[in-house]
Protein backbone atom coordinates (compact mmCIF):
# COMPACT_ATOMS: atom_id res chain seq x y z
CA UNK A 1 0.00 0.00 0.00
CA UNK A 2 1.30 3.41 -0.99
CA UNK A 3 0.95 6.05 1.73
CA UNK A 4 0.87 9.78 0.99
CA UNK A 5 0.77 12.57 3.56
CA UNK A 6 1.09 15.60 1.30
CA UNK A 7 -1.71 16.07 -1.21
CA UNK A 8 0.39 18.56 -3.20
CA UNK A 9 3.03 15.91 -3.91
CA UNK A 10 0.84 13.13 -5.28
CA UNK A 11 1.73 11.26 -8.47
CA UNK A 12 -0.42 11.86 -11.53
CA UNK A 13 -3.17 9.38 -10.74
CA UNK A 14 -5.55 8.11 -13.39
CA UNK A 15 -8.98 6.59 -12.84
CA UNK A 16 -8.96 6.30 -9.07
CA UNK A 17 -11.73 4.45 -7.24
CA UNK A 18 -11.99 6.52 -4.05
CA UNK A 19 -13.68 6.46 -0.68
CA UNK A 20 -13.50 9.10 2.06
CA UNK A 21 -13.79 8.96 5.83
CA UNK A 22 -12.10 9.00 9.23
CA UNK A 23 -12.41 5.18 9.43
CA UNK A 24 -11.91 5.10 13.18
CA UNK A 25 -11.86 1.42 14.11
CA UNK A 26 -11.95 0.18 10.50
CA UNK A 27 -14.93 -1.87 11.70
CA UNK A 28 -17.28 -4.19 9.80
CA UNK A 29 -19.28 -1.27 8.46
CA UNK A 30 -16.10 0.26 7.08
CA UNK A 31 -15.06 -3.15 5.72
CA UNK A 32 -18.25 -3.35 3.68
CA UNK A 33 -17.31 0.00 2.10
CA UNK A 34 -13.77 -1.20 1.43
CA UNK A 35 -15.02 -4.47 -0.08
CA UNK A 36 -17.26 -2.55 -2.49
CA UNK A 37 -14.35 -0.21 -3.23
CA UNK A 38 -12.22 -3.20 -4.24
CA UNK A 39 -14.99 -4.68 -6.39
CA UNK A 40 -15.49 -1.31 -8.09
CA UNK A 41 -11.76 -1.19 -8.81
CA UNK A 42 -11.98 -4.47 -10.71
CA UNK A 43 -15.19 -3.43 -12.45
CA UNK A 44 -14.08 0.02 -13.59
CA UNK A 45 -10.30 -0.37 -13.63
CA UNK A 46 -7.82 1.92 -11.91
CA UNK A 47 -6.60 1.66 -8.33
CA UNK A 48 -8.35 1.76 -4.97
CA UNK A 49 -7.78 4.79 -2.78
CA UNK A 50 -8.79 5.78 0.76
CA UNK A 51 -8.73 9.45 1.69
CA UNK A 52 -8.66 9.84 5.46
CA UNK A 53 -7.78 12.60 7.90
CA UNK A 54 -5.35 13.10 10.75
CA UNK A 55 -5.73 14.46 13.34
CA UNK A 56 -9.33 13.39 13.77
CA UNK A 57 -11.51 16.38 12.77
CA UNK A 58 -13.01 16.69 16.26
CA UNK A 59 -9.51 17.16 17.70
CA UNK A 60 -9.21 20.33 15.63
CA UNK A 61 -12.79 21.58 15.74
CA UNK A 62 -13.22 20.84 19.47
CA UNK A 63 -9.65 21.19 20.83
CA UNK A 64 -10.76 21.55 24.46
CA UNK A 65 -12.98 18.46 24.40
CA UNK A 66 -10.87 15.96 26.33
CA UNK A 67 -13.66 13.39 26.24
CA UNK A 68 -12.91 12.38 22.64
CA UNK A 69 -11.37 8.91 22.62
CA UNK A 70 -10.48 7.05 19.45
CA UNK A 71 -10.56 3.35 18.62
CA UNK A 72 -7.35 3.47 16.59
CA UNK A 73 -4.04 5.22 16.68
CA UNK A 74 -2.87 6.36 13.26
CA UNK A 75 -0.45 3.43 13.12
CA UNK A 76 -3.23 0.95 13.88
CA UNK A 77 -5.51 2.45 11.26
CA UNK A 78 -2.81 2.26 8.61
CA UNK A 79 -2.21 -1.45 9.36
CA UNK A 80 -5.92 -2.27 9.20
CA UNK A 81 -6.36 -0.47 5.88
CA UNK A 82 -3.32 -2.23 4.49
CA UNK A 83 -4.81 -5.58 5.55
CA UNK A 84 -7.92 -4.65 3.56
CA UNK A 85 -5.81 -4.56 0.39
CA UNK A 86 -6.05 -0.84 -0.38
CA UNK A 87 -3.66 0.35 -3.12
CA UNK A 88 -3.27 3.97 -2.04
CA UNK A 89 -3.84 5.72 1.28
CA UNK A 90 -3.84 9.50 1.52
CA UNK A 91 -3.65 10.91 5.05
CA UNK A 92 -4.80 14.49 4.70
CA UNK A 93 -3.77 16.84 7.54
CA UNK A 94 -7.00 18.21 9.00
CA UNK A 95 -6.68 21.90 9.83
CA UNK A 96 -8.98 24.79 10.65
CA UNK A 97 -8.39 26.14 7.13
CA UNK A 98 -9.34 22.81 5.57
CA UNK A 99 -12.50 22.66 7.70
CA UNK A 100 -13.71 25.86 6.04
CA UNK A 101 -13.56 24.33 2.55
CA UNK A 102 -17.07 24.15 1.08
CA UNK A 103 -18.33 20.83 -0.25
CA UNK A 104 -18.16 22.17 -3.82
CA UNK A 105 -14.53 23.24 -3.36
CA UNK A 106 -13.75 19.86 -1.84
CA UNK A 107 -15.24 18.01 -4.79
CA UNK A 108 -13.56 20.20 -7.39
CA UNK A 109 -10.10 20.79 -5.87
CA UNK A 110 -9.56 17.56 -3.96
CA UNK A 111 -11.57 14.79 -5.58
CA UNK A 112 -11.41 15.92 -9.18
CA UNK A 113 -8.22 17.99 -9.60
CA UNK A 114 -5.95 16.17 -7.11
CA UNK A 115 -7.26 12.60 -7.04
CA UNK A 116 -8.77 12.33 -10.54
CA UNK A 117 -11.67 10.37 -9.13
CA UNK A 118 -13.32 7.89 -11.50
CA UNK A 119 -15.63 6.20 -9.00
CA UNK A 120 -16.56 7.52 -5.55
CA UNK A 121 -17.78 5.01 -2.97
CA UNK A 122 -19.35 6.49 0.17
CA UNK A 123 -21.21 5.28 3.24
CA UNK A 124 -24.93 5.77 3.58
CA UNK A 125 -24.63 8.73 5.98
CA UNK A 126 -21.43 10.39 4.78
CA UNK A 127 -21.21 14.19 5.09
CA UNK A 128 -18.28 16.42 4.22
CA UNK A 129 -17.18 19.99 3.61
CA UNK A 130 -17.75 23.09 5.74
CA UNK A 131 -20.28 22.39 8.50
CA UNK A 132 -20.76 18.92 6.98
CA UNK A 133 -23.01 20.49 4.34
CA UNK A 134 -22.04 18.02 1.62
CA UNK A 135 -24.14 14.87 1.38
CA UNK A 136 -24.99 12.09 -1.05
CA UNK A 137 -27.56 14.34 -2.73
CA UNK A 138 -24.95 17.03 -3.49
CA UNK A 139 -22.52 14.41 -4.74
CA UNK A 140 -25.21 12.95 -6.99
CA UNK A 141 -25.69 16.37 -8.56
CA UNK A 142 -21.96 16.89 -9.09
CA UNK A 143 -21.06 13.40 -10.36
CA UNK A 144 -22.28 13.90 -13.96
CA UNK A 145 -20.79 17.41 -14.08
CA UNK A 146 -17.33 16.12 -13.19
CA UNK A 147 -17.70 12.78 -14.95
CA UNK A 148 -17.39 10.29 -12.08
CA UNK A 149 -19.57 7.40 -10.93
CA UNK A 150 -21.14 7.43 -7.46
CA UNK A 151 -21.78 4.33 -5.35
CA UNK A 152 -23.65 4.50 -2.05
CA UNK A 153 -23.11 1.76 0.57
CA UNK A 154 -25.96 0.91 2.98
CA UNK A 155 -25.37 0.55 6.72
CA UNK A 156 -23.77 -2.75 7.70
CA UNK A 157 -25.96 -4.41 10.30
CA UNK A 158 -25.64 -7.07 12.98
CA UNK A 159 -28.89 -8.19 14.60
CA UNK A 160 -30.61 -5.27 12.85
CA UNK A 161 -28.33 -2.73 14.55
CA UNK A 162 -26.29 -0.56 12.21
CA UNK A 163 -22.59 -0.58 13.02
CA UNK A 164 -20.84 2.67 13.90
CA UNK A 165 -17.70 3.78 15.71
CA UNK A 166 -19.94 5.48 18.29
CA UNK A 167 -21.70 2.22 19.16
CA UNK A 168 -18.37 0.41 19.45
CA UNK A 169 -17.07 3.09 21.81
CA UNK A 170 -20.22 2.71 23.91
CA UNK A 171 -19.76 -1.08 24.12
CA UNK A 172 -16.14 -0.65 25.26
CA UNK A 173 -17.03 1.99 27.83
CA UNK A 174 -19.55 -0.50 29.24
CA UNK A 175 -16.91 -3.25 29.29
CA UNK A 176 -18.69 -5.32 26.64
CA UNK A 177 -15.57 -6.23 24.69
CA UNK A 178 -17.30 -9.22 23.06
CA UNK A 179 -19.91 -6.96 21.47
CA UNK A 180 -17.16 -4.55 20.41
CA UNK A 181 -15.28 -7.43 18.76
CA UNK A 182 -18.46 -8.50 16.97
CA UNK A 183 -18.87 -5.02 15.52
CA UNK A 184 -15.17 -4.54 14.76
CA UNK A 185 -14.49 -7.95 13.25
CA UNK A 186 -11.43 -8.32 15.49
CA UNK A 187 -10.53 -8.13 19.18
CA UNK A 188 -10.14 -4.56 20.39
CA UNK A 189 -6.56 -3.91 21.36
CA UNK A 190 -4.20 -1.42 22.89
CA UNK A 191 -0.43 -1.27 22.55
CA UNK A 192 2.27 0.14 24.78
CA UNK A 193 5.67 -0.36 26.34
CA UNK A 194 6.28 -2.66 29.29
CA UNK A 195 7.60 -0.64 32.23
CA UNK A 196 8.83 -1.52 35.71
CA UNK A 197 6.08 -1.69 38.32
CA UNK A 198 6.04 -2.36 42.05
CA UNK A 199 6.25 -6.15 41.39
CA UNK A 200 3.54 -7.01 43.93
CA UNK A 201 2.07 -9.56 41.51
CA UNK A 202 5.31 -11.52 41.45
CA UNK A 203 5.24 -11.96 45.23
CA UNK A 204 1.83 -13.68 45.10
CA UNK A 205 2.49 -15.88 42.09
CA UNK A 206 0.88 -13.67 39.45
CA UNK A 207 3.64 -11.54 37.88
CA UNK A 208 2.33 -8.81 35.63
CA UNK A 209 3.59 -6.76 32.73
CA UNK A 210 2.79 -3.11 33.37
CA UNK A 211 1.77 -1.49 30.10
CA UNK A 212 2.49 2.19 29.54
CA UNK A 213 0.21 3.69 26.87
CA UNK A 214 1.42 7.00 25.45
CA UNK A 215 -1.60 7.92 23.31
CA UNK A 216 -3.93 9.67 25.75
CA UNK A 217 -6.67 9.81 23.10
CA UNK A 218 -6.81 5.99 22.81
CA UNK A 219 -10.03 4.61 24.28
CA UNK A 220 -9.62 2.11 27.11
CA UNK A 221 -12.42 -0.32 28.00
CA UNK A 222 -14.21 -0.11 31.34
CA UNK A 223 -12.22 -1.00 34.44
CA UNK A 224 -12.22 -4.70 35.23
CA UNK A 225 -10.46 -8.00 34.74
CA UNK A 226 -10.33 -9.42 31.20
CA UNK A 227 -9.28 -12.50 29.28
CA UNK A 228 -6.69 -11.27 26.81
CA UNK A 229 -4.48 -12.31 23.95
CA UNK A 230 -0.99 -10.84 24.02
CA UNK A 231 1.50 -10.15 21.26
CA UNK A 232 5.14 -9.61 22.29
CA UNK A 233 8.10 -9.74 19.87
CA UNK A 234 5.90 -11.33 17.22
CA UNK A 235 4.82 -14.18 19.53
CA UNK A 236 1.25 -14.81 20.68
CA UNK A 237 0.31 -15.63 24.28
CA UNK A 238 -2.81 -15.67 26.43
CA UNK A 239 -3.43 -14.27 29.85
CA UNK A 240 -5.61 -12.01 31.96
CA UNK A 241 -5.41 -8.29 32.44
CA UNK A 242 -6.47 -5.92 35.17
CA UNK A 243 -7.46 -2.50 33.89
CA UNK A 244 -8.14 -0.11 36.71
CA UNK A 245 -6.92 1.56 39.89
CA UNK A 246 -5.82 -1.42 42.05
CA UNK A 247 -8.06 -0.39 44.98
CA UNK A 248 -6.69 -3.15 47.24
CA UNK A 249 -3.35 -1.30 47.15
CA UNK A 250 -4.90 2.21 47.23
CA UNK A 251 -3.87 2.91 43.63
CA UNK A 252 -4.66 6.36 42.26
CA UNK A 253 -3.76 6.09 38.58
CA UNK A 254 -5.50 3.90 35.99
CA UNK A 255 -3.14 1.14 34.97
CA UNK A 256 -3.11 -1.87 32.65
CA UNK A 257 -1.40 -4.93 34.14
CA UNK A 258 -1.18 -8.19 32.22
CA UNK A 259 -0.51 -11.62 33.66
CA UNK A 260 0.81 -13.77 30.79
CA UNK A 261 0.10 -17.47 31.26
CA UNK A 262 3.09 -19.85 31.28
CA UNK A 263 5.55 -17.00 30.75
CA UNK A 264 8.60 -16.13 32.86
CA UNK A 265 10.78 -13.95 30.62
CA UNK A 266 11.98 -10.44 31.49
CA UNK A 267 10.57 -8.16 28.81
CA UNK A 268 10.94 -4.65 30.18
CA UNK A 269 10.87 -1.91 27.52
CA UNK A 270 9.42 -4.32 24.94
CA UNK A 271 6.38 -3.33 22.90
CA UNK A 272 3.24 -5.27 23.80
CA UNK A 273 -0.22 -5.45 22.24
CA UNK A 274 -3.14 -6.54 24.40
CA UNK A 275 -6.30 -7.88 22.74
CA UNK A 276 -9.45 -7.87 24.91
CA UNK A 277 -11.37 -11.13 24.37
CA UNK A 278 -13.89 -11.27 27.23
CA UNK A 279 -14.58 -9.69 30.60
CA UNK A 280 -14.17 -11.86 33.70
CA UNK A 281 -15.43 -9.48 36.38
CA UNK A 282 -15.44 -5.93 37.67
CA UNK A 283 -12.49 -4.58 39.62
CA UNK A 284 -12.92 -5.33 43.33
CA UNK A 285 -11.42 -4.22 46.63
CA UNK A 286 -10.14 -7.12 48.75
CA UNK A 287 -9.65 -7.19 52.51
CA UNK A 288 -6.10 -8.47 52.19
CA UNK A 289 -3.55 -9.92 49.77
CA UNK A 290 -4.58 -13.52 50.52
CA UNK A 291 -8.16 -12.78 49.47
CA UNK A 292 -6.87 -11.19 46.26
CA UNK A 293 -4.69 -14.23 45.53
CA UNK A 294 -7.64 -16.61 45.98
CA UNK A 295 -9.70 -14.54 43.53
CA UNK A 296 -6.87 -14.47 41.00
CA UNK A 297 -6.71 -18.27 41.11
CA UNK A 298 -10.45 -18.38 40.34
CA UNK A 299 -10.02 -15.76 37.61
CA UNK A 300 -7.32 -17.82 35.91
CA UNK A 301 -9.43 -21.01 36.09
CA UNK A 302 -12.34 -19.18 34.45
CA UNK A 303 -10.05 -17.61 31.82
CA UNK A 304 -8.63 -21.02 30.88
CA UNK A 305 -12.16 -22.42 30.51
CA UNK A 306 -13.13 -19.52 28.25
CA UNK A 307 -9.97 -20.04 26.21
CA UNK A 308 -10.51 -23.82 26.23
CA UNK A 309 -6.83 -24.43 26.95
pLDDT at position 200:
66
For 77, the enclosing helix (H) or strand (E) is helix 74-83
* In the chain, domain spans: 2-162, 187-307
Give residue 14's pLDDT band: very low, low, confident or very high (50, 70, 90).
confident
Instruction: Report, as an integer, the average pLDDT of 24-53.
Output: 94
Instruction: Report, as an integer, the average pLDDT of 275-282.
Output: 98
Question: Coil, strand, or helix at residue 10?
Answer: coil
Q: Which strands form 16-20's sheet, in the order they lie side by side?
A: 2-4, 88-93, 48-54, 16-20, 117-123, 149-153
Q: What is the mean pLDDT of the chain?
A: 91
Domain at 2-162: CATH code: 3.40.50.620
62-71, 259-268, 297-306: which is most confident: 297-306
Tens digits of per-residue pLDDT, 43-94? 988 899 999 999 988 888 888 777 789 999 999 999 999 999 999 999 999 9
Kindly report the length of the chain: 309
Please state whether the predicted TM-score (pTM) of the whole model is above 0.75: yes
Query: Contact at 8 Å (CB) between 167 and 184?
Result: no
Residue 133 has pLDDT above 90, yes or no: no
What percentage of the chain carries pLDDT values higher than 90? 67
Query: Contact at 8 Å (CB) between 233 and 270?
Result: yes
Query: Contact at 8 Å (CB) between 32 and 185?
Result: no
pLDDT at position 8:
86
pLDDT at position 67:
79
Nearest partner of 46 among 142, 120, 144, judged by Cα:
120
pLDDT at position 251:
66
Query: Contact at 8 Å (CB) between 143 and 170?
Result: no
Instruction: Report, as an integer, the average pLDDT of 241-256.
Output: 79
* Contacts (Cβ under 8 Å, ≥6 apart) of 78: 3, 89, 91
Classify 3 in phi/psi space as left (phi over 0), alpha (psi -120 to 50) or beta. Answer: beta
CATH class of 187-307: mainly beta
Amino acid sequence: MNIYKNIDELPDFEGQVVTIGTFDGVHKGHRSILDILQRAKHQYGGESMVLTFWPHPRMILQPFNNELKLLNTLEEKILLLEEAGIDNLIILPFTQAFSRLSYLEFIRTILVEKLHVKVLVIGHDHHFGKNREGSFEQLAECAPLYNFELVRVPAEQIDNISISSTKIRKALIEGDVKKAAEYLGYFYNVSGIIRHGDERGRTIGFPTANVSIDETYKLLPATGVYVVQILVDGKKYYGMANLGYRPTFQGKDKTLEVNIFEFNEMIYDAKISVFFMDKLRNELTFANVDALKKQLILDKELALRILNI
